[in-house]
Each structure stands twice: as C-alpha cells, then as structure tokens.
C-alpha cells in the first residue's frame, strides 16, 4: 500500500445524486439470492452497465453451469471463497479481496460455486461490450488481494480495481473504458474524487453511512445504489462514528442499442436469435459446451 500525500483537488462541477435505489433480493442460479440494483425493472440498463449484484451464498446453493456472450463480468470478493471453472479448462478460486475480470466475448460456459462452510459474499458487475468487441475471444484478468493497487491518506483508503485514484493506476485493461474504486473513509473524512466528465457513474454503499454530492444531503446507508449526475467528480463525507465503505464505478457510454436475453447481450433481436441457436447447437464459440460439465455437476 502506498501512503499518498494529500493534494487538494478542485472540482469545477461536482456530481450530485440524481436517483437512489435500494438493492432488492431476488433468486438466481441454484438456490442463491442476490441483491440486485442495476438490471431490474426500475433500472434495466445504465450504459455501459448491465447488472450489479451483491451476492451472499453458501453451499449447496450457487451458480452452476451457465453461458454468457457479448459482455464482461467483474467478480469482486468481499468475504469467503468462490470456485470458478469453465469449458476452456480454466479453474480458479477467488478468496476475500480477490478480483476476476472475465471477458465472455463470443462465448463462455462456466460455473461459480461457493467453497467452505461459511457464507461467500461479493459483488458482480456486468459491463457491456461494443458491437466491435462482442465476438472477441474470451479472456481473463485475475488479481489476488495483495496484487490490487492501493493508496491511503490518514483517513481514506482506496483499492484501485480499475482506473486511477490518489495517484495510483490499476493495470487492469478495460475494453469498455471503466473506473472501479473501493473506498473506505474513516469518521470525519472528506473525499474528493475526479470522474471523467463524459462518463456515467454510480456509487454502491457496502458499510456505514455517507453523504454524497453536497454536504447538506442526508446520510445514505448500505445496499443503496446512487446514480450520479453530470460533472467532473464527486464529494463524499463520512460524518458517522463508523467507517464508510463504498465502491465508485464509472464507465464510458457505448450509445448502442441493447438486446438482452438472460446471459446473452447483443445489439438486436436477430443477433440474440443467432446466439441462442449457436448455444443450442454448440457452434460459433460454444463448441466445447457439447461435452463439458463442471466438476460440481459431474459429481452430482
């Protein structure tokens, strides 16, 4: 972790909170429950973000074999462990603080199942890909907890998952330009974080209570998603007696039509029909799905 000298940041137009959503529980996978904020009927899409889930799952529940095409999934573990495996032979374990940035591209079939006897918690964000990138080859970027870049001042800590904060730049490559920051503010802390003025952005609160946008705003607590308006950055205050933890996410809008059918996200209905056909026939990127099952299903 790098200790960062506090340098004053001036914002010409601080962003304000324009809408607030409490994440709602819903069933996903096999017996799993997620708290979803982006990707439900009140907020189906926030360009380029398709889904934001806060998951909490324990065995035997989980997310067994399922496909994806046309976007990226970003899995960030908050507690416990998840085992991931796919039809390309990629197997890995994500533990507390670990990150997996998966580009599904033209096709992935994989499983995500909790390990151990406790509860596994984390965030999963779906980021849309442009039409030029939807059919690229699948790829992974994975980082262990200790590999994620961090910075801190006397009362603020940030884990830089993607993008830049407090002079620290993440090595993660984002095909859809994205910022993903995990902040912890101690009591009485004030954060001023720049955001690209042309990007859409939101905050999602994990722990504590914070004041976002203007100092006179009401404090907002956990499991709330805050859509931020236009501007070149955000002010956040922690006036509570306990630490405030939240993720701040921003991304460049694609400005393209979106057609979605469950785990498939393309630009129009014809491409969705083609994707369903490809998956059912195990062609055009799904060839290996024909004879593959995860170890979880093979043992059942």
The per-residue pLDDT for 117 is: 84
The per-residue pLDDT for 298 is: 61
Q: Are 203 and 234 in contact (CB under 8 A)?
A: yes
110 is in an annotated binding site: yes
The per-residue pLDDT for 9 is: 80
Residue 298 domain-assigned? no
Exposure class string for 172-182: b at 16+ Cβ within 10 A, else e? bebbbbbbbbb
The per-residue pLDDT for 299 is: 58
Q: What pLDDT band is residue 109 in, cutting at 50, 70 and 90?
A: very high
Residue 37, domain extent: 24-251
The pTM (predicted TM-score) of the whole model is: 0.95
Give the number of domains in the chain: 1
- What three-state secondary structure class fits 296? helix
The per-residue pLDDT for 8 is: 63
Residues 181 and 159: their CA atoms lie apart, in Å, by 6
Residues 157 and 150: their CA atoms lie apart, in Å, by 7
27 is in an annotated binding site: no
CATH number of residue 236's parent domain: 2.60.120.10
68 is in an annotated binding site: yes
The per-residue pLDDT for 10 is: 83
Residue 263 domain-assigned? no
112 is in an annotated binding site: yes
Helices (H) and strands (E) in the chain, counts: 2, 26
The per-residue pLDDT for 6 is: 55
The per-residue pLDDT for 7 is: 54
Residue 109 domain-assigned? yes
pLDDT tens digits for range 51-108: 999 999 999 999 999 999 999 999 999 999 999 999 999 999 999 999 999 999 999 9
The per-residue pLDDT for 116 is: 85
Residue 270 domain-assigned? no
Q: Are 120 and 81 in contact (CB under 8 A)?
A: yes
């Amino acid at each position: 972790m790098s200790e960062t000298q506090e340098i004053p940041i001036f914002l010409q137009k601080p962003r304000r909170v324009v809408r607030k959503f409490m994440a709602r529980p819903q069933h996903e996978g096999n017996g799993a429950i997620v708290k979803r904020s982006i990707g439900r009927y009140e907020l189906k899409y926030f360009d380029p973000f398709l889904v934001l889930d806060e998951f909490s799952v324990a065995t035997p529940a989980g997310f067994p074999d399922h496909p994806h095409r046309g976007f990226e999934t970003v899995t960030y573990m908050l507690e416990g462990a998840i085992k991931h495996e796919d039809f390309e032979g990629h197997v890995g374990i994500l533990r507390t603080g670990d990150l997996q940035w998966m580009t599904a591209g033209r096709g992935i079939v994989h499983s995500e199942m909790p390990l151990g006897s406790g509860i596994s918690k984390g965030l999963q964000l779906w980021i849309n890909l442009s039409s030029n990138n939807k059919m690229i080859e699948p790829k992974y970027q994975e980082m262990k907890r200790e590999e994620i870049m961090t910075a801190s001042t006397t009362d603020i800590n940030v884990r830089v998952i993607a993008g830049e904060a407090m002079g620290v730049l993440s090595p993660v490559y984002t095909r859809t330009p994205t910022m993903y920051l995990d902040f912890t503010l101690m009591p009485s802390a004030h954060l001023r974080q720049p955001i690209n003025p042309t990007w859409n952005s939101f905050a999602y609160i994990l722990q504590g209570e914070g004041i976002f946008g203007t100092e006179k705003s009401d404090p907002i607590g956990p499991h709330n998603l805050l859509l931020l308006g236009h501007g070149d950055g955000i002010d956040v205050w922690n006036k509570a007696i306990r630490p405030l933890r939240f993720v701040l996410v921003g991304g460049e809008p694609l400005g393209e039509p979106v057609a979605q059918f469950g785990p498939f996200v393309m630009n129009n209905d014809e491409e969705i029909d083609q994707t369903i056909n490809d998956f059912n026939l195990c062609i055009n990127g799904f060839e290996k799905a024909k004879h593959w099952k995860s170890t979880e299903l093979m043992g059942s």
